[in-house]
Amino acid sequence: MPARPASRGRPVVVASLNRAKAREIASILEDEDLGFEVLSLADVSDSTPPPETATTFAANALAKARWAARATGLPAIADDSGLEVDALGGQPGIRSARFLGEGASDEDRCRKVIELMSDVPEGRRRARFRCAAAFATAEGEELLAEGVCEGTISQEPSGTGGFGYDPLFVPEGRACTMAELTADQKHAISHRGRALRLLAKLIREHSDARGPG
């Protein structure tokens, strides 16, 4: 098991081996004053998260958070998110991370969506990012929040920021892709940012209701 970094607050583990996602979640939660030190699962465990087999983002997020809390003994945060494209019947949706199979890269998945959308006119390229974020403890406490970011699919990928489908998603009210925004701009409007800010509010309310101790 990896040596745990010196704590700068209450350690909370992100139930993902994706360090880019863990950094993004940590960055979003920094402004929420929860007193957390957000760690990647890779920082504290050699375990691999179970496969995502549920049929909703919420169920997948809760399952991963429960697993990580039990596996590490730490409070855990997990999210499940994806891109829903209206012209593709909501695909890739719940399978966004597994679109084209386990060996595909972010670039492969983006290129495939663009290919599938090649004949779709501008007025029919509506899409949204959807995220469910969950918090769980080894003692069985659980909280869940969801966030959505509406937008459209661009004609070509553009930008180098973010990850996943960010280079082809143009958020509503913007003239550039999510991957062309600064981190702060992205967090302010993204599905993950909205879900995590709501989750932080629920965590604070839960902590206040529980009281000290």
What is the largest distance, in Å, between two alpha-carbon atoms of the chain? 59
Mean pLDDT of 119-128: 96
Residue 1 lies in a domain: no
| DSSP assignment string, 67-100 | HHHHHHSS-EEEEEEEEEEGGGTT-BGGGGGGTT
How far from the centroid of its chain's Cα atoms is residue 170's Cα? 17
Catalytic (active-site) positions:
80
Rounded (10°) CA dihedral 31, 202, 71, 36: 30
Is pLDDT above 70 for 213?
Answer: no
Q: Which residues pair with 142 in a beta bridge?
A: 136
Q: 59 lies in a domain? A: yes
Q: What's the pLDDT band for 211 if we cut at 50, 70, 90?
A: low
Burial 188-205 (b: 16+ CB within 10 A, else e): ebbbbbbbbbbbbeebee
Domain with 49, as residue range(s), is: 10-210
Rounded CA Rg of the chain: 17
Number of domains into which the chain is organized: 1
Does residue 5 belong to any structural domain of this protein? no
- Residue 212: what pLDDT? 52
111 in any annotated domain = yes
Indicate which CATH number applies to the domain containing 83.
Answer: 3.90.950.10
Residue found by looking up tokens 């699962």 in the block: 41
Query: Exposure string (b/e) for 46-69, b if CB count within 10 Å is 16 or more?
Result: ebebeebeeeebbbbbbbbbbbbb
| pLDDT tens track for 66-108 | 999 999 999 999 999 999 999 999 999 999 988 998 889 999 9
Per the CB < 8 A criterion, the answer to whether 144 and 80 are in contact is no
